[in-house]
Protein backbone atom coordinates (compact mmCIF):
# COMPACT_ATOMS: atom_id res chain seq x y z
CA UNK A 1 0.00 0.00 0.00
CA UNK A 2 1.48 3.32 -1.07
CA UNK A 3 1.69 6.55 0.90
CA UNK A 4 -1.34 7.99 -0.90
CA UNK A 5 -3.45 5.01 0.11
CA UNK A 6 -2.21 5.28 3.69
CA UNK A 7 -3.21 8.95 3.90
CA UNK A 8 -6.65 8.15 2.49
CA UNK A 9 -6.99 5.27 4.93
CA UNK A 10 -6.11 7.53 7.86
CA UNK A 11 -8.71 10.15 6.91
CA UNK A 12 -11.26 7.45 6.16
CA UNK A 13 -10.63 5.83 9.55
CA UNK A 14 -11.16 9.13 11.40
CA UNK A 15 -14.45 9.76 9.58
CA UNK A 16 -15.69 6.24 10.31
CA UNK A 17 -14.61 6.57 13.95
CA UNK A 18 -16.64 9.78 14.21
CA UNK A 19 -19.70 8.11 12.64
CA UNK A 20 -19.28 5.08 14.91
CA UNK A 21 -19.16 7.34 17.94
CA UNK A 22 -22.42 8.91 16.79
CA UNK A 23 -24.06 5.48 16.50
CA UNK A 24 -22.82 4.53 19.99
CA UNK A 25 -24.16 7.77 21.45
CA UNK A 26 -27.52 7.20 19.72
CA UNK A 27 -27.63 3.64 21.03
CA UNK A 28 -27.08 4.90 24.57
CA UNK A 29 -29.75 7.61 24.03
CA UNK A 30 -27.25 10.40 24.64
CA UNK A 31 -28.13 12.05 21.31
CA UNK A 32 -31.81 12.92 20.83
CA UNK A 33 -33.50 11.07 17.97
CA UNK A 34 -35.02 14.34 16.71
CA UNK A 35 -31.51 15.71 16.06
CA UNK A 36 -30.67 12.65 13.95
CA UNK A 37 -33.94 12.83 11.97
CA UNK A 38 -33.48 16.56 11.37
CA UNK A 39 -29.96 15.95 10.10
CA UNK A 40 -31.11 13.12 7.81
CA UNK A 41 -34.01 15.22 6.55
CA UNK A 42 -31.56 17.98 5.62
CA UNK A 43 -29.36 15.50 3.67
CA UNK A 44 -32.31 13.98 1.76
CA UNK A 45 -32.34 15.16 -1.87
CA UNK A 46 -28.97 16.95 -1.72
CA UNK A 47 -26.64 16.12 -4.62
CA UNK A 48 -23.64 17.03 -2.47
CA UNK A 49 -24.55 14.25 -0.03
CA UNK A 50 -24.87 11.80 -2.93
CA UNK A 51 -21.46 12.90 -4.20
CA UNK A 52 -19.90 12.42 -0.75
CA UNK A 53 -21.49 8.96 -0.50
CA UNK A 54 -20.18 7.99 -3.95
CA UNK A 55 -16.72 9.25 -2.97
CA UNK A 56 -16.74 7.12 0.18
CA UNK A 57 -17.87 4.12 -1.87
CA UNK A 58 -14.99 4.58 -4.33
CA UNK A 59 -12.51 5.01 -1.49
CA UNK A 60 -13.84 1.83 0.13
CA UNK A 61 -13.36 -0.14 -3.08
CA UNK A 62 -9.86 1.29 -3.61
CA UNK A 63 -8.74 0.47 -0.07
CA UNK A 64 -10.27 -2.98 -0.29
CA UNK A 65 -8.35 -3.71 -3.50
CA UNK A 66 -5.12 -2.15 -2.20
CA UNK A 67 -5.29 -4.21 0.97
CA UNK A 68 -6.02 -7.49 -0.78
CA UNK A 69 -3.28 -7.23 -3.42
CA UNK A 70 -0.50 -9.75 -2.94
CA UNK A 71 2.93 -8.59 -4.00
CA UNK A 72 4.95 -11.60 -2.96
CA UNK A 73 4.27 -13.45 -6.20
CA UNK A 74 5.69 -10.62 -8.31
CA UNK A 75 8.57 -9.51 -6.13
CA UNK A 76 10.03 -12.84 -5.05
CA UNK A 77 11.17 -16.16 -6.37
CA UNK A 78 9.85 -19.07 -4.28
CA UNK A 79 11.72 -22.32 -3.68
CA UNK A 80 9.70 -25.16 -2.21
CA UNK A 81 11.63 -27.71 -0.19
CA UNK A 82 10.79 -30.27 2.52
CA UNK A 83 11.68 -27.85 5.32
CA UNK A 84 9.49 -25.01 4.01
CA UNK A 85 9.39 -22.24 1.44
CA UNK A 86 12.32 -19.95 0.67
CA UNK A 87 11.55 -16.54 -0.86
CA UNK A 88 14.33 -14.75 -2.74
CA UNK A 89 13.62 -11.17 -3.70
CA UNK A 90 14.05 -10.07 -7.29
CA UNK A 91 16.21 -7.20 -6.00
CA UNK A 92 18.61 -9.71 -4.45
CA UNK A 93 18.86 -11.58 -7.77
CA UNK A 94 19.50 -8.28 -9.58
CA UNK A 95 22.33 -7.51 -7.15
CA UNK A 96 23.86 -10.96 -7.73
CA UNK A 97 23.73 -10.49 -11.50
CA UNK A 98 25.23 -6.98 -11.23
CA UNK A 99 28.15 -8.25 -9.17
CA UNK A 100 28.77 -11.11 -11.59
CA UNK A 101 28.70 -8.82 -14.65
CA UNK A 102 30.85 -6.04 -13.14
CA UNK A 103 33.77 -8.46 -12.75
CA UNK A 104 33.72 -9.43 -16.43
CA UNK A 105 36.69 -8.12 -18.39
CA UNK A 106 35.73 -5.28 -20.72
CA UNK A 107 32.54 -4.24 -18.91
CA UNK A 108 32.61 -0.61 -17.70
CA UNK A 109 29.05 -0.16 -16.42
CA UNK A 110 25.92 -2.24 -16.02
CA UNK A 111 22.20 -1.94 -15.28
CA UNK A 112 20.23 -5.12 -14.58
CA UNK A 113 16.51 -5.90 -14.60
CA UNK A 114 15.31 -9.37 -13.59
CA UNK A 115 11.80 -10.54 -14.37
CA UNK A 116 9.73 -13.69 -14.23
CA UNK A 117 8.03 -15.30 -17.20
CA UNK A 118 6.24 -18.59 -17.76
CA UNK A 119 9.56 -20.14 -18.87
CA UNK A 120 11.49 -18.93 -15.79
CA UNK A 121 13.70 -16.01 -14.88
CA UNK A 122 14.63 -13.49 -17.55
CA UNK A 123 17.58 -11.13 -17.20
CA UNK A 124 17.94 -7.88 -19.12
CA UNK A 125 21.38 -6.29 -18.96
CA UNK A 126 22.30 -2.85 -20.25
CA UNK A 127 26.08 -2.66 -20.43
CA UNK A 128 28.80 -0.22 -21.29
CA UNK A 129 31.73 -2.01 -22.92
CA UNK A 130 35.31 -0.78 -23.30
CA UNK A 131 36.41 0.02 -26.87
CA UNK A 132 39.44 -2.31 -26.83
CA UNK A 133 37.33 -5.39 -26.12
CA UNK A 134 35.59 -7.74 -28.55
CA UNK A 135 31.87 -7.06 -28.01
CA UNK A 136 30.59 -10.54 -29.05
CA UNK A 137 33.17 -12.22 -26.82
CA UNK A 138 32.39 -9.95 -23.87
CA UNK A 139 28.63 -10.44 -24.18
CA UNK A 140 29.03 -14.22 -24.51
CA UNK A 141 31.19 -14.23 -21.38
CA UNK A 142 28.64 -12.09 -19.53
CA UNK A 143 25.80 -14.44 -20.48
CA UNK A 144 27.85 -17.45 -19.37
CA UNK A 145 28.79 -15.79 -16.08
CA UNK A 146 25.16 -14.92 -15.34
CA UNK A 147 23.93 -18.45 -16.06
CA UNK A 148 26.65 -20.06 -13.95
CA UNK A 149 26.50 -17.59 -11.05
CA UNK A 150 22.71 -17.78 -10.66
CA UNK A 151 22.67 -21.57 -11.05
CA UNK A 152 25.45 -21.97 -8.46
CA UNK A 153 24.15 -19.38 -5.97
CA UNK A 154 20.37 -19.75 -6.16
CA UNK A 155 19.96 -23.09 -7.92
CA UNK A 156 17.71 -21.73 -10.66
CA UNK A 157 18.08 -22.01 -14.40
CA UNK A 158 17.67 -18.74 -16.28
CA UNK A 159 15.34 -18.86 -19.27
CA UNK A 160 16.76 -15.88 -21.13
CA UNK A 161 19.61 -13.39 -20.83
CA UNK A 162 19.28 -10.36 -23.09
CA UNK A 163 22.16 -7.92 -23.34
CA UNK A 164 21.95 -4.43 -24.75
CA UNK A 165 25.28 -2.72 -25.28
CA UNK A 166 24.28 0.88 -24.62
CA UNK A 167 27.67 2.40 -25.20
CA UNK A 168 31.23 1.56 -26.09
CA UNK A 169 33.24 3.87 -23.91
CA UNK A 170 36.42 4.04 -21.92
CA UNK A 171 34.95 6.49 -19.42
CA UNK A 172 34.33 5.41 -15.89
CA UNK A 173 31.46 6.99 -14.04
CA UNK A 174 32.86 9.22 -11.37
CA UNK A 175 31.06 9.78 -8.12
CA UNK A 176 30.76 13.41 -7.17
CA UNK A 177 31.53 14.23 -3.58
CA UNK A 178 29.23 16.41 -1.60
CA UNK A 179 31.08 18.56 0.90
Q: pLDDT of 88-141, one tens digit each?
A: 888 888 898 898 888 888 888 889 898 887 787 889 999 888 888 888 888 898
- pLDDT-derived band at 80, boundaries 50, 70, 90: confident
pTM of the model: 0.53
- pLDDT of res. 124: 92
Q: Name the 3-class secondary structure at 105.
A: coil
What span, in angstroms and rounded, lies between the C-alpha atoms of 34 and 43? 14
Beta-carbon count within 10 A of 164 CB: 10
Find out whether 128 and 51 touch, Cβ atoms under 8 Å. Answer: no
Beta-carbon count within 10 A of 154 CB: 17
What span, in angstroms and rounded, lies between the C-alpha atoms of 36 and 30? 11
- pLDDT of res. 159: 84
Amino acid sequence: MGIFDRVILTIYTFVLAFLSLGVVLMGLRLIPLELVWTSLYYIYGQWEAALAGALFLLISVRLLLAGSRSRTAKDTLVHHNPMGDVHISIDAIENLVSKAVRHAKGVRGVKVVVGQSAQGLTVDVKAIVSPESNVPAVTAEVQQRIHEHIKHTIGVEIADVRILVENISNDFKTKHRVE
